[in-house]
Structure 1
């Protein structure tokens, strides 16, 4: 893991945007894995601003989102398709036909849909850079604690904590989904690079378990310890429970020298 600690959440977003921009510049037809939730909104704002300044085009980009609520119409304001349209897709020059989510409409078999999503990713040559957030319980995507570390795209029942954490996004008269389709942990681990963003003190314990705890299904994000190219971007609040932060700073300074000489992505 490459652990990078910034002063604030804005710097985390700016750094994440730079990684995305460098990939798009480096590879003719990049495949991005995208995330929803509060944390990546600031990243998408950065990308939209860069697109509007004519320095970033998404014409050749293909995207795969981590997850989508079960049995929710894409036009529903609470769907993750609507979230992505609102925060990114409607504001850049991406071909909407190249944007995919693991949707499962009413009447569709989630097992079949999960396999189909895996096949779509395979047909595109795999994901080059997967954006992640982390839940307070250590989930990535909707891979809740006890998720198999070898899991693939499938349907998951959400924990009470996740439902409670997300309830603020739903109006009292809206039905809140309790199940979702999600990339599996093995699917995420197949990405060539993983970029996890975490901000705020409420993520500090999950971040600590992810980085310094044992690899365990009880903290799904801990699987990233086994990833060859995992970049963890934190603000000070999210990093507040980590010890040996001086080493992370030292390592980051040394890695920046390598980036200056060889670029952000060593295998493109």
Structure 2
């Protein structure tokens, strides 16, 4: 699927599509071709997956395309709520198990154990798994306040010495989870979460960031036109040597 428009902002490649469906198909094809290239050069590939509504059509399209030997793919994810059980429908483990793991049977899927009895030890455990091999591909979405994973503007650190940490979630982020129907009401959304940090996700050889929908035009404008700053964590992608942002046409309207 060819984008309607492409341009660059600093090092970041921006691809604009006419619809969410075309965006998902275009990004999926690029993801497939990249993973095929990686697996042509080494035995396994490591991928960090994102969740949320921005990823649903993309994941479906990527799996439907075929051509990826998932038995050679090691999967991780970006974040998980503190205290949530794996079988909770609001859990990112549940989201990814149903939409990805059950569909493709990867070599391994390393999950953040949100209900771990020792959360700080879980941060250390997951960080060691992430650092055990280079990350070939990181998939991202952009939060309404510009967060990447759960690196909220208040806690994002472009030079964070940690690879995984615990953070308190912004009210706007928690409200978004209710709006997207992952939780029935605000009080049901956990206040804290595990997140992969900015330096860890930025260490990926390639980043694909998806921003479908029409409700994030203002934050995308800030991400692309204002200074690169933790005040808009997603702006850090403008410094990555191999990152692509996929937008819907209407979302790019303020640019």
Runs ≥4 residues deviating over 3 A: none
Give the Cα separation in 2 of the matches to 1:174 and 1:75: 19
Instruction: Pick closer, same or farther for the CA change 1:113–1:12 going to 2, 3 Å.
Output: same
Q: Comparing both structures, which one devotes a greater share of its residues to strand?
A: 2
130, 136, 140: which one aligns with 2:144: 136
Q: Which one of the candidate residues 76, 83, 93 is aligned to 1:81?
A: 93
Task: List aligned pairs for 1:1-268, cutoff 5 A.
Answer: 1-28=12-39, 29-51=44-66, 55-95=67-107, 98-110=108-120, 112-123=121-132, 125-146=133-154, 147-151=156-160, 152-167=163-178, 168-172=181-185, 175-242=188-255
Structure 2 distance, partners of 1:70, 1:185, is 19
Aligned-residue Cα RMSD (Å) equals 1.7
5+ residue gaps, structure 2:
1-11
Q: Which runs of 5+ in 1 are unaligned?
A: 243-268
Secondary structure of the corresponding residue to residue 57 of structure 2: helix
Partners of 2:195 and 2:88 lie apart in 1 by 18
TM-score normalised per structure 1: 0.83
**Displacement of 1:239 after TM fit?**
1.1
Q: Distance in 2 between matches of 1:114 and 1:45?
A: 30
Larger Cα Rg: Structure 1 or Structure 2?
1
Deviation string, structure 1 residues 179-214 (Cα, Å, up to 9, x no partner): 110100111111111111101221111111111110
In 1: Cα distance, 2:36 partner to 2:72 partner: 11
CA contact (8 A) 1:157 1:179 kept: yes
Rounded to whole Å, the distance in 2 between the matches of 1:193 and 1:172 is 36
